[in-house]
């Protein structure tokens, strides 16, 4: 111990002699981080990003991002002497002739799926707990940007091998470009260096995939983390936790060891998946050619919802004045995703407009205590799940022997009907949970023990909650609805006009709550038995 | 009566772990951590051994997974073990032996003090005023012009990314008299080659010495289907584009350009596997389901003097997905 302390001391001294950073470092080595399992979702995202960088770099040593024609003569016999692009041939080479190459490809692909899943789960955690509120709106915007880039990066990544499946995906991307009014055909021809498929697309997206977007990720993730650091992490409500403090463990050594250890665990799990779970076996699909396709063509899950939207779109095109506008591509491919992502990015500002709340928030909401927000999130999630379901309609049809037409009609109607139902149900559910919390605090926990009173009456014994538990279940703030003036000083009615009316309506919906239990009520009821 | 909320009982009292109070438990935790680290080392040795000693082309059967490449499998398992146990060791260490006292740190509002904010706003205003943009409108306008124009440079510089589309999206290599050949054998087709109910993947015959490119396949691919002539439900013109029950459609989906490859013989429906647009072969590939808005373009076919199937004329409309300049009737 003595010796290691001495070394640590010497290192600290060496650093401070050169940087004069003792004051800053002293403060930050003891930086406090609150602990909760849901805070690991962002960690998993970041660690999978590191794993993507490592495994991706390995793959670049052999991958040849070129669409030049080659004749394959590697060790995968079924494709021997087949003409294909160098990109596809080199992916086969990595899979069959480089020791650990297939493993690295599978690790890379699994890491990408876990990166996206963890990022989406992290985003949901932030949303449902209200962590995006002031002062953290910047980080919310960066997060929305990262999700968007993640979808693009993933799509470009699985497009690189130039196999039949991914080539079909590129073809669809080309059709989306081509559908953009006015400039579509030009954009498509510029992106593909001429007519589809051309010989330039794979090399171009390779640069974007391995340089441009990872650079953007690195920059955005750095800012994201620096802001978390600077603004300090949010924390869940509980005894001793307030808006003015942060309760947790110091960075050195506990958090460092836990977070560092967790990186290895994430890497270990992904390596295990890469070892045992085959993913994207491109040799089975064959090289890309525009005239062929395999049944059950599916994108990765983070693109699946887009594919589902495109599939359910009604066959709408406008033909006028010698021009064609493909609403069946523009609406599902660009307009709806645009609205979704814009709405998501602006949500913190919309909520603060609805509630009129401009204060800082560092204590997280339990989702039930923000029923309107939780219901809105569940509604959006339901929308995405319904369209995602439709993205897999062909596989669902074959696996469960259902008619693909009826699945399509179910989701076409469901995408309009189900989200509002989910909104209402979720909101009611949240309010019921609030009611249950209130009952727990006021009447205690049901013990299941029945006792007969001397009068012969049977009652169930309720056990009073601990003061900590009572506090946790009742301490949340319940803001009254923002009042929008119906008349201003000079007697003008609805001074804020239509916007004011909408705002008032939203404010009321947002403020709907079951009153939290108070000590006064508890005293009035007496304790425990009644 | 004022409403009284519950009061914050404060942080719960710290609970000591067994490793905090008993040296014996602490020593045992240390041994456990050491074992975990050693297991990781064993994993690494396994990884290296797999790399060197397992033959790259040997396969093992694993239940559930099936036959799998032994080297990739054991490399991966070794890697997983070596990584997982480092992680487990570090976390066990942190949880058992490192201090577990919760620490409370203060937060401060981010908003600066009013005095600082006033000075900051004043400085910003002063800076803007000092630049004199408000007063010197000539500078403002000319700067707007310069900055606006410079945005064009990257756009112009990217011009050579690709050729202009011109009329290319309207064209295919099908001409009047082009023979239909089978893909991939490039053999010309006679009526007798196709039985009723069969489908063939067709491309246009290329002039001697010309190589087929993927770009040409992307526009030229055609699906040839033979049904009984009386099953057609076509107008006179479209019927004249068929030959003895044989009808030809562009294989490139009119929705997003996927290959419309699934033919259902019973119903005579063509289905695109990408988005499930369904086309009725008997009614000139009319869309009967899915997102496609237009039928698949039909290629007029007949036979030449030698009895081989040929195109009677090119497609009379652009094939594939829509685009702005497409003149759809």
Calculate how close chain A gets to B123, using CA atoms only, in Å: 23
What residues of B are in contact with residue A249 (Cβ under 8 Å)?
A: 100, 102-103
Residue B211 in contact with partner chain A when CB distance is under 8 A: no
Q: State the Cα–Cα distance between residues B140 and A416, nearest whole angstrom.
A: 50
Mutate which of A275, A298, A327 to test chain B, going by most B C-beta atoms within 10 A?
A275
Residue B103 in contact with partner chain A when CB distance is under 8 A: yes
What residues of B are in contact with residue A88 (Cβ under 8 Å)?
A: none
CB nearest A171 (choices: B86, B88, B257)? B257
Q: State the Cα–Cα distance between residues A396 and A387, nearest whole angstrom.
A: 13
Question: What pLDDT does residue B193 have?
Answer: 92
What residues of B are in contact with residue A295 (Cβ under 8 Å)?
A: 261-262, 273
Give the length of chain B: 329
What residues of B are in contact with residue A393 (Cβ under 8 Å)?
A: 276
What residues of A are in contact with residue B83 (Cβ under 8 Å)?
A: 264-265, 267-268, 271
Between strands A317-320 and A69-71, the pairing is unpaired
Residue B289 in contact with partner chain A when CB distance is under 8 A: yes
Task: Give the mean pLDDT of B45-50.
Answer: 96
Those residues with Cβ within 8 angstroms of residue A175's Cβ, 6 or more apart along the chain or in another chain: A329, B255, B256, B257, B320, B321
**CA A252 to the chain's CA centroid:** 29
Find out whether A356 and A506 touch, Cβ atoms under 8 Å.
no
Calculate how close chain B gets to A268, using CA atoms only, in Å: 4
C-beta neighbour count of B144 within 10 angstroms: 10
CB nearest A518 (choices: B5, B106, B255)? B5
**CA B173 to the chain's CA centroid:** 29
Question: What pLDDT does residue A1 have?
Answer: 58
Residue B79 in contact with partner chain A when CB distance is under 8 A: yes
Contact B98 A324 (CB under 8 A): no
Beta bridge partners of A85: A69
Residue A178 in contact with partner chain B when CB distance is under 8 A: yes
CB nearest B328 (choices: A276, A324, A519)? A324
pLDDT digits (tens, 9 = 90+) for A60-115: 999 999 999 999 999 999 999 999 999 999 999 999 999 999 999 999 999 999 99
Token digits of residue A259:
């977070």
CB nearest B80 (choices: A249, A272, A394)? A272
Q: State the Cα–Cα distance between residues A327 and A341, nearest whole angstrom.
A: 19
Residue B199 in contact with partner chain A when CB distance is under 8 A: no
Q: State the Cα–Cα distance between residues A517 and A529, nearest whole angstrom.
A: 17
Could you give the maximum distance between any two Cα atoms of chain A, in Å? Answer: 95
**A contact residues 476-515, partner B, Cβ 8 Å cutoff:** none
Average pLDDT, chain B: 92
Q: From the DSSP assignment, how many helices (H) and strands (E) are in chain B? A: 8, 14
Q: Please give the backbone phi and psi of residue A176, each rounded to the nearest 5 degrees, phi first.
A: -65, -45
Q: Look at the alpha carbons of A265, A113, A378, A376 in this order and tell me if their dihedral is positive or negative.
A: positive
Q: What angle do CA A17, A20, A22 make, to 5 degrees?
A: 100
Contact B259 A291 (CB under 8 A): yes
pLDDT at B2 over 80: no
Residue A222 in contact with partner chain B when CB distance is under 8 A: no
CB nearest B110 (choices: A135, A179, A326)? A135
Q: What's the order of all strands across the beta sheet hosting A32-33?
A: A32-33, A245-250, B103-106
What residues of B are in contact with residue A192 (Cβ under 8 Å)?
A: 162
Candidates A440, A429, A421; CA nearest to A367 is: A429
pLDDT digits (tens, 9 = 90+) for B200-248: 999 999 988 888 999 999 999 999 999 999 999 999 999 999 999 999 9
Beta bridge partners of A323: A320
Calculate how close chain A gets to B305, using CA atoms only, in Å: 29
| Half-sphere exposure in the Cβ direction for A96 (13 Å, CA) | 19
Token digits of residue A343:
């709405």
Question: What pLDDT does residue A528 have?
Answer: 45
Candidates A458, A464, A461, A459; CA nearest to A447 is: A461
Find out whether A83 and A70 touch, Cβ atoms under 8 Å.
yes
Task: Report DSSP state, residue A39.
Answer: G
Mutate which of B88, B107, B287 to test chain A, going by most A C-beta atoms within 10 A?
B107
Beta bridge partners of A446: A462
Q: What is the DSSP string of A468-495?
A: HHHHHHH----PPPPPPPSB-TT--BST
Task: Report DSSP state, residue A251.
Answer: I
pLDDT < 70 regions, chain A: 1, 527-530
Residue A448 in contact with partner chain B when CB distance is under 8 A: no
Calculate how close chain A gets to B324, using CA atoms only, in Å: 5
First vs last C-alpha separation in chain B: 78
Predicted TM-score of the model (pTM)? 0.93
């Amino acid at each position: 111990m003595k010796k290691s302390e001495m070394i640590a001391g010497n290192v600290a001294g060496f650093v401070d002699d050169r940087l004069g950073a003792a004051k800053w470092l002293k403060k930050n080595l003891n930086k406090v981080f609150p602990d909760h399992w849901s805070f690991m979702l962002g960690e998993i995202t970041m660690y999978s990003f590191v794993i993507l960088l490592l495994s991706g770099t390995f793959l670049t040593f052999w991958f040849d991002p070129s669409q030049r024609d080659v004749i394959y003569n590697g060790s995968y016999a079924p494709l021997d002497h087949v003409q294909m692009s160098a990109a596809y041939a080199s992916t086969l080479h990595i899979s069959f002739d480089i020791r650990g190459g297939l493993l690295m490809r599978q690790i890379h692909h699994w890491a990408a799926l876990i990166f996206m899943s963890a990022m989406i789960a992290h985003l949901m955690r932030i949303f449902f707990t209200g962590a995006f509120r002031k002062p953290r709106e910047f980080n919310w915007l960066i997060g929305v940007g990262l999700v968007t880039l993640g979808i693009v990066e993933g799509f470009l990544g699985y497009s690189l091998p130039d196999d039949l499946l991914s080539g079909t995906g590129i073809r669809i991307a080309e059709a989306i470009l081509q559908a953009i009014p006015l400039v579509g055909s030009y954009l498509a021809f510029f992106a593909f260096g001429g007519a589809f498929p051309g010989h330039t697309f794979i090399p171009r997206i390779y640069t974007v995939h391995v340089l441009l977007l990872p650079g953007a990720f690195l920059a955005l993730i750095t800012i994201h983390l620096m802001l978390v650091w600077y603004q300090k992490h949010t924390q869940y409500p509980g005894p001793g936790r307030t808006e003015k403090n942060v309760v947790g463990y110091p960075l050195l050594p506990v958090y460092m060891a836990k977070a560092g250890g967790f990186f290895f665990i994430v890497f270990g799990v992904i390596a295990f998946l890469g070892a045992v779970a085959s993913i994207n076996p491109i040799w089975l699909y064959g090289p890309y050619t525009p005239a062929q396709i395999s049944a059950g063509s599916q994108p990765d899950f983070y693109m699946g919802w887009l594919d589902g939207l495109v599939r359910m779109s009604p066959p709408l095109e406008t033909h006028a004045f010698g021009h064609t506008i493909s609403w069946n591509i523009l609406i599902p491919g660009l307009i709806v995703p645009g609205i979704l992502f814009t709405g998501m990015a602006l949500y913190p500002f919309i909520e603060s407009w609805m509630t009129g709340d401009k204060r800082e928030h560092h204590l997280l909401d339990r989702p039930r205590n923000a029923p309107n927000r939780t219901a809105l999130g569940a509604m959006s999630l339901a929308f995405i799940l319904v369209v995602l379901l439709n993205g897999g309609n062909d596989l669902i049809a074959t696996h469960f022997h259902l008619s693909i037409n009826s699945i399509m009609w179910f989701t076409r109607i469901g995408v309009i009907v189900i989200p509002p139902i989910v909104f209402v149900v979720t909101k009611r559910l949240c309010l019921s949970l609030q009611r249950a919390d209130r009952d727990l605090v006021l009447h205690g926990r049901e013990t299941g023990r029945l006792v007969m009173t001397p009068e012969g009456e049977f009652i169930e014994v309720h056990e009073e909650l601990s003061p900590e538990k009572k506090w946790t279940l009742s301490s949340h703030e319940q803001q009254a609805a923002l009042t929008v003036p119906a008349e201003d000083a000079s007697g003008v009615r609805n001074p804020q006009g239509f916007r004011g009316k909408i705002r008032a309506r939203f404010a009321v919906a947002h403020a709907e709550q079951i009153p939290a239990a108070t000590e006064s009520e508890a005293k009035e009821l007496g304790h425990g038995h009644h | 009566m004022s409403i009284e909320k519950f009061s914050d009982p404060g942080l719960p009292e710290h609970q000591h772990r067994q490793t905090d109070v008993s040296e014996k438990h602490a020593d045992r935790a240390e041994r456990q951590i050491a074992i975990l680290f050693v297991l990781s080392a064993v994993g690494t040795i396994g990884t290296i051994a797999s790399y060197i000693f397992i033959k790259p082309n040997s396969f093992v059967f694993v239940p559930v997974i099936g036959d799998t490449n032994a080297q990739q499998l054991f490399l991966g398992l070794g890697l997983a073990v070596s990584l997982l146990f480092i992680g487990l060791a570090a976390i066990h260490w942190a949880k058992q032996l490192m201090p577990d006292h919760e620490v409370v740190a203060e937060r401060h509002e981010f908003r600066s003090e009013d005095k600082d904010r006033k000075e900051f706003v004043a400085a910003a205003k002063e800076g803007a005023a000092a630049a004199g943009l408000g007063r010197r409108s000539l500078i403002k306008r000319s700067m707007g012009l310069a900055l606006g124009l410079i945005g064009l440079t990257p756009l112009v510089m990217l011009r050579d990314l690709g050729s202009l589309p011109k009329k290319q999206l309207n064209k295919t290599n099908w001409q009047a008299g082009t023979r239909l050949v089978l893909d991939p054998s490039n053999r010309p087709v006679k009526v007798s080659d196709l039985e009723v109910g069969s489908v063939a993947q067709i491309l246009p015959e290329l002039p001697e010495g010309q190589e087929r490119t993927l770009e040409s396949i992307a526009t030229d691919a055609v699906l040839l289907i033979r049904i009984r002539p009386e099953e057609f439900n076509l107008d006179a013109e479209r019927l004249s584009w068929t030959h003895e029950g044989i009808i030809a459609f562009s294989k490139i989906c009119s929705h997003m350009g996927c290959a419309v490859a699934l033919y259902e013989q019973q119903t005579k429906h063509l289905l695109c596997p990408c988005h499930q647009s369904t086309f009725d072969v008997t009614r000139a590939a009319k869309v009967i389901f899915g997102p496609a808005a237009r039928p698949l373009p039909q290629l007029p076919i007949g036979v030449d003097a030698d009895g081989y199937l040929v195109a009677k004329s090119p497609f009379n409309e652009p094939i594939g997905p829509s685009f702005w300049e497409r003149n759809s009737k």
